[in-house]
Structure formats: structure tokens, C-alpha cells
Amino acid sequence: MTNPRLLKAMVVAGGISLPLAGILVHSYNRAPAGYAAAYTVAGMWVLSLLLALCGLLLLVIRRTRFTGIVLAGSSVFLALGFVSGIQFSEMAGLVAWRNLPLQRFGPNQSADLVVYYRTGTTRAQMTQLEDTILYQPRKDGRGKEFKRGIRMYLHLSPSQAHGHDGFALGLDSSMGKEERDSLQSSLAGSPYVLRVYRDVAPSKVPYAGQPE
């Protein structure tokens, strides 16, 4: 392969991967918390690995060697662009979640809402309810994210919820009373939900064996 072709392949690789790295850096910077940003980092490395593997496979075949170089180069540029972008963002103070106070969330910490499912509710039904009420598609098309105002989610096993499946939610402090009431009503109105508790730690829920 001549140098002009190699240079062309690198230019194409950069044109593909660097804008993508910029999108991922923006997603990292605007994540609601550090745990969410970690998913962006993991996704970047997985994508880089897939590009590298596909590129190496295509390099073996003479007719697809140019495409192989483009993909392999894209994997390198993507990783370098993302890591460099994060470093710049850190120095420039662009990582929004870095300045958020540390928040603890667990069975013994107070939750804004605690939801108990009815006995016999299937996992598919639970997923359907949560996808409908708690989540929305991401604007970039990569999976889903919490709807506005929902910050944290904790699954509750039957041993943590008086024999029921359930979950607890932590809501953003900027979420007004009307929005909180609306979310609680939406959850309580589901045929899959037994009871919704408010402002209580999951381990302190005063369950009294309400009828199904």
C-alpha cells in the first residue's frame, strides 16, 4: 500500500472517529452522576475494541485492506480522542457531575418514593412499568435514561420489601411537589403496584400486610 493511500485511510478514520469521540465526551460531561459516566467510558472501550477487531480481520483480505486500515485507525483515534477530551474537560471544569455532592442511596437511606409490586407480578410486567414511567429514550439514540427529576434507582428484593419485589427512587431536589405527586400517582395507579410510600427508608417501611 502506498503512502497516499495510508494517509487517505487515516484521514477517513479521523473523520469518522473524532466527531464520535466528541459526542461521547459530551455525554460523559453531562452524565447525571459518576456511575452513569462510567457506562459511557465502558461503551467507548467496547466500541474501540470492536473497531480494532473488525479492522484486523479486514486487513487479512487484500480487497478490504483499505477498510481494515480505516477501522483499525478509527479505534485508535476514538480512544485517543475520548481520553484527551476527558482530560481537557477535567482541566476546564466542564464535567458537570464532578461538583455534585456525594449522595448515598441504599436500604437504610431515606428515599423519596418506595414502591411495592403486587404478589405475582412478572419480571416482564415490572420492566414494562418502569420503562413507561421512569425512563425515556436517550436523545442520541443509545439506550434509555431516567426521565427528568429521577436521579437514583434501587431495586428491592423480597427480603428487603416484606416479601414483595419493589424499588426505591431518589428524586432531584429541583423537582416540584406537583411533579412528585404526579409521579407517585402514576405509579400507584398501575395494576402491578401494591403500595407507594413516600419519604422513608426502604428498611423502615411500615408494612402491615395490606390485602392484594
CA–CA dist 155, 129 (Å, integer): 14
Name the pTM for this structure.
0.55
Among 120, 128, 113, 118, CA closest to 185:
113
Is the domain of 58 the same as that of 133? no
Which residue range is the domain that position 155 belongs to? 111-204
pLDDT in tens, 85-131: 999 988 888 887 666 554 556 788 889 999 999 999 999 999 999 99
Among 142, 121, 143, CA closest to 131:
143
Is the domain of 126 the same as that of 68? no
Is the domain of 71 the same as that of 140? no
pLDDT in tens, 51-89: 999 999 998 888 898 999 999 999 999 999 999 999 998
Assess if residue 106 is contained within a domain.
Answer: no
Number of separate helices (H) and strands (E) present in the chain: 5, 6
Number of domains in the chain: 2
Host H or E run for residue 123: helix 123-133
